[in-house]
Amino acid sequence: NADASTTGESALISMNNHWIANPGTAITPLLTADPSRPDVCTESTAPAETTPCATPAELAAAQQYCAALNNTLGPYANCFDDVDPAQLFDDCVFDHCADPSMACDTLQLYEEECQAAGELDFTSVVDACGVCHGDGTSCQKTCVATGDPHYRSFDGVAFNWQGQCEYVLASDCRSGSRVDGATANAFEVQVRNSRRRPLPGRQVTATVAVAVRLPAVSRASASVVEMYRSLANAQLNGAALPALPYADVYGNTITLAGGILRVYAGSVGATVTFRGSTVRVTLDGSSPLLNNTCGLCADANTVSADDAALSQMHNHWIAN
């Protein structure tokens, strides 16, 4: 009942049958009827499962997977005083034995609760692909620029660069040398950073605008989407955005969901989003740009060792 008191909660929560939504009862279902389900639902009389961990080995594997939630020296330790992880640790272990993918959801939930509590000084166990304890190579490739700004290349190399110009963040470099940028009708993402502003002991900038050139058959037919911190300022080819969702003949789309503008270049399997000061460029697992990009995001070739040489060519990636 959300009255800030836990007294009496068990009695309310355990009234399971009382809260069933059935047609013709005091609680009318809101979901559209599912013809595969009976018209009237009755609760199972089977005893609740205490744990789906069938063997000690399964339990040990689950506890190891979820260890971040109870390790006082682990990646979440700084958040323990703000968000008690005990219940989520038990949930994580239970879920891992039932379905390991659900356990990852529990870890992500804890990170979200830490952020909501204002605790940002923890190490995420979720990689750029949304995989818990992954290495960033299991699915899509994502390059991120966020904050003042902090960058993470497609291959997971993190670096900081307080540049105050406009830069090529990611570009299709199949048409020529990796350091020569894209042709005039190829996919490219450019970012505009703010002028440096002084803070105690340092100078900082932030990403304030993003431009995405959508791939087309010619320079004349290539469109440019501009995204700003205010959605109202977004443009397509220098004019206000058309009615969304938008699609062109080349498989490029622009959509809006949850307050986030999403630009998708279908022919190269690339998605660009911009919200606040965070821009993300994500390449599908089958994108022809894998191992064929250049810019501050580097080359998306799964080899992190060569990223520094490309990403740190700051002046080369200036768009003037």
Residue 316 is predicted with a pLDDT of 78
pLDDT of residue 21: 74
Report the pLDDT value the prediction gives residue 176, as an integer from 0 to 100: 47
**How far is it, in rounded angstroms, from Cα 159 to Cα 147?**
12
pLDDT at 252 over 70: yes
Q: Look at the block and give the residue holding tokens 């005083």.
A: 81
Q: Return the pLDDT at 79.
A: 95
pLDDT, one tens digit per residue, over 23-32 is 666 677 777 7
Joined tokens for residue 142: 């994502």
pLDDT interval class at 233 (50, 70, 90): very high
- Two structure tokens written together for 205: 């900038």
Does the pLDDT of residue 138 top 70, yes or no? Answer: no
The 10s digit of each residue's pLDDT in 98-126 is 887 788 889 999 999 999 999 889 999 98
Asked whether the predicted pLDDT for residue 136 surpasses 70, the reply is no
Look at residue 186 and tell me whether its pLDDT is greater than 70. yes
Distance CA 173, CA 157 (A): 20
Give the count of beta carbons closer than 10 Å to the beta carbon of residue 131: 16
The answer to whether the predicted template modeling score (pTM) of the entire model surpasses 0.85 is no
The pLDDT value recorded for residue 262 is 93
pLDDT at 2: 62
Cβ contact 157:307 at 8 Å: yes
Return the sign of the alpha-carbon dihedral for residues 262, 178, 168, 220.
Answer: negative
Q: What is the pLDDT of residue 76?
A: 96
